[in-house]
Structure 1
Amino acid sequence: MHTLSLPRTLLSTAVVSAFALATLHAHADLSSRYSDHDGDLVADVPTDESQWQDPDTLVFAYTPVEDPAVYAGVWSDFLEHLSTVTGKEVQFFPVQSNAAQLEALRAGRLHVAGFNTGSTPVAVNCGGFRPFTMMAAEDGSFGYEMEIITYPGSGIESVEDLQGRQLAFTAETSNSGFRAPSALLRSEYGMEADEDFETAFSGSHDNSILGVVNKDYEAAAIANSVVHRMLARDVVGEEDYEVIYTSDTFPTTAYGTAHNLAPDLAESIQNAFFSYDWEGTALEAEFANSGEAQFIPITYEDNWAVIRAIANATGATYDCD
């Protein structure tokens, strides 16, 4: 892969300053279905025990991908471990879209999940999602970068060359697949979607990457952690695409639980994540390709501050009642 240009500034100074101000004044945007008495920006566990869920079978969903069947195998060993620690049957739920995953959470059909970076605030505010962990490298470092990619010979050699061309996004709830590149293009380059360039929505990072490789899209905004895993599985080759922009680092997929699980069950689920031995597992084989090797504790309030600020800067709202 010939990398054409890799500027690593995410957004203009003015926008970064606005992000910092937004973080100082962070407040919960929770649906009226939930409360936040402790001020941590996520839904409280109900005080009424009759509202707690303690299902015989836990349903787990990973963020939407191009081929959910692949990830059913990737997660199988971990889900066996989750079953052992919790004493529950565990079922993998292959979701096809962010909307389907959120609806399952809101309806009480989803108990444990990994929501992608940009969807996490939607899941927190509209679905009562309580994130507590994400993947990290052995040294505790974590995250991924948003990249804008094109195919060789497209004639697009810089971000400015997107003028009058087509850029594929993934979904409007995605951070790297929509919100971050939208804020970047507006603030740094004065470019507005569907005015200065055409847009398409692919539904997932896998689809966007394959769409560029197959020349269905002229360019796409993607999470580079996804393309790294696709390269490792030989789904795409380094010669199939070129990078014209790389952002600063963002937090990756957040894992957590529904807000109304019985507290003892929620605690045992957390214990399962933090006691899991990755060595020799399909999870290790898959996520080592993006440099991840363990689950580390997180808080939504701290780790998602920049993501909430990007969402605010792009006008995102959580009117989900």
Structure 2
Amino acid sequence: MSQQDHSQPKSFSLGRILLIAVPAAAIAWGVQSYWDNAREQAEKKTEQNTVRNLLGTESANKLAKEFTDADGDLLADPPEDEAKLQDPDELVFSYYASTEEGDEQQTWKTFTEALSQRTGKPVKYVRFADVSEQLRALREGTLHMTAFGTGAVPTAVNKSGFTPLCCFADTDGNYSYTMKIIVPADSDIKKVEDLRGKRFTFTRPRSNSGYKAALAMLLADHDMQPERDYAWGFSYGHENSIAGVADKQFEAAAVASDVLDREIAAGKISEDSIRTIYESKPFPPGVLGYVSNLTPELREAIRETVAEFKIDGTPLAEYGAGKPIELAMVSYKKDWAPVRDINKAVEEAREQVQ
């Protein structure tokens, strides 16, 4: 006969279960905590990198090493070596770099004809889609007279030897504009703080009113960082931002007040379609100027053309948004001080991003 197995089945006590389960749970909790912390740190690092990238990496306020500034006007001096001065057979002229289609060549035709007559040289109008191409052309000597938006002027001065000369002004010689944050007229965004959790549209990276001034204000005055506090994007043009807000494609955008006035005056948008929730202190507008290494004779001829040119009755009058305007001489050292302050604030913010 076979023997029967009289052994009792082993019991699983609560204590034994806990002995196994508690360490396992602790390990699982530890692993989950580790990954939660790692994810949080990764997200924070991404936010930091995004803000640093948006704030840029270069100092826009520092004159490049190849330039000198003996007279302290913060502009590149013309070369002392006459061999380095430009006296081109043909002057190359452009207006703002833009991806927008438009007949700017025709708008500036009366001015370029006056410039040609004064200098005794043919003037060729060219168009740039990107500011970087425009800056490169100045440095390489293939562009001689051009215009930059307010925010790009310090970079053009310090990196490409650009000399700001004149801008559009009213008939009393006054010139300035402001940065406005606009939203659709029926938006629930009533004040700057309401931008948290929304999507904010900048114009382009070098713009003062459409980018730097707004970014610096949101950081310094409201502790609002892109990614962390609001989504963001670029429209690549003040006109694009204005139209996008008016059409309710954009929730909010930073734009230049003079461009906004011009778009309204031209009937491109209705004033009733947008609402302003913030307006900055005044800034100098975009400016027309020349590269610093032109011959003294050419520089003087350009200045004389500007001083004598009358806008009334020419296509350039459209830039007045229905009001009379003229070309007024500017002072980079004085007029662009607020813009250089914005650049300095942006650089300091870049260092302080934690």
| Counterpart in the other structure of 2:325 | 293
Residue 349 of structure 2 corresponds to residue 311 of structure 1: no
Query: Structure 2: any 5+ residue segments left out of the alignment?
Result: 1-59, 350-354
The residue type equivalent to 1:196 in the other structure is D
Contact 1:131 1:298 in 2 (8 A): yes
CA contact (8 A) 2:61 2:154 kept: no
Counterpart Cα distance in 2 of 1:177 and 1:231: 18
CA displacement at 1:121 relative to structure 2 = 0.1
For 2:338, give the aligned amino acid.
V
Q: Which has the higher contact order (CA 8 A, sep 6+)?
A: 1
1:261 aligns with one of 294, 301, 316: 294
Equivalent pair of 1:169/1:178 in contact (CA under 8 Å): yes
Amino acid at match of 2:212: R
Alignment of 1:16-27 (within 5 A): none
Q: Deviation of residue 316 (structure 1)?
A: 8.1
Which stretch shows the higher mean deviation, 184-193 or 256-265?
184-193
* DSSP 3-state at the match of 1:250: coil
Report the Cα offset of residue 32 of structure 1.
1.5
* Distance in structure 2 (CA, Å) of the matches to 1:99 and 1:296: 26
- What's the secondary structure of 2:327's corresponding residue? strand
Distance 2:91 2:270 in 1: 37
Aligned residue type for 1:295: L
TM-score, structure 2 as length reference: 0.78
Could you tell me which amino acid in structure 2 is paired with residue 300 of structure 1? Y
Say whether the 8 Å CA contact 2:185–2:273 is kept in structure 1: yes
Residues 235 and 72 of structure 1: is their aligned pair in 2 closer, same or farther, counting only changes over 3 Å?
A: farther
2:68 corresponds to 1:62: no
Inter-CA distance 250–290: structure 2 relative to 1 (3 Å threshold):
farther
1:314 aligned counterpart, secondary structure: helix
Q: Is the 8 A contact 2:265 2:322 kept in 1?
A: no
**C-alpha displacement at 1:115, in angstroms?**
0.8
Q: Deviations over 1:115-144 (max 9, x none)?
A: 111100000011110112222111121111
More helix by share: 2
Contact 1:134 1:296 in 2 (8 A): yes
Q: Are residues 1:273 and 2:306 paired?
A: yes
Shift of the 291–309 alpha-carbon distance from structure 1 to 2, 3 Å rule, reads farther
Q: Which amino acid aligns with 1:239?
A: D
Cα distance in 2 for residues equivalent to 1:66 and 1:143: 24
Residue of structure 2 aligned with 1:38, choices 71, 90, 103: 71
Q: Tell me the SS of whatever aligns to 2:206.
A: coil
User: Larger Cα Rg: Structure 1 or Structure 2?
Assistant: 2
Rounded to whole Å, the distance in 1 between the matches of 2:266 and 2:148 is: 22
Identical pairs, percent: 38
Aligned pair in 2 of structure 1 residues 129, 234: CA closer, same or farther (>3 Å)? same
CA distance in 1, matches of 2:252, 2:127: 28
Structure 1 segments unaligned to the other structure (5+ residues): 1-26
Match of 1:145 among 171, 178, 190: 178
Q: Is the 8 A contact 1:28 1:39 kept in 2?
A: no
* Paired residues of 1:66 and 1:207 also in contact (CA < 8 A): no
CA distance in 1, matches of 2:140, 2:192: 41
CA RMSD, 1 decimal: 1.9
CA contact 1:228–1:290 (8 Å) conserved in 2: no
Higher mean C-alpha deviation, range 305-314 or range 61-70: 61-70
The 3-state SS of whatever aligns with 1:242 is strand
Q: Structure 2 CA distance, aligned partners of 1:60 and 1:98?
A: 14
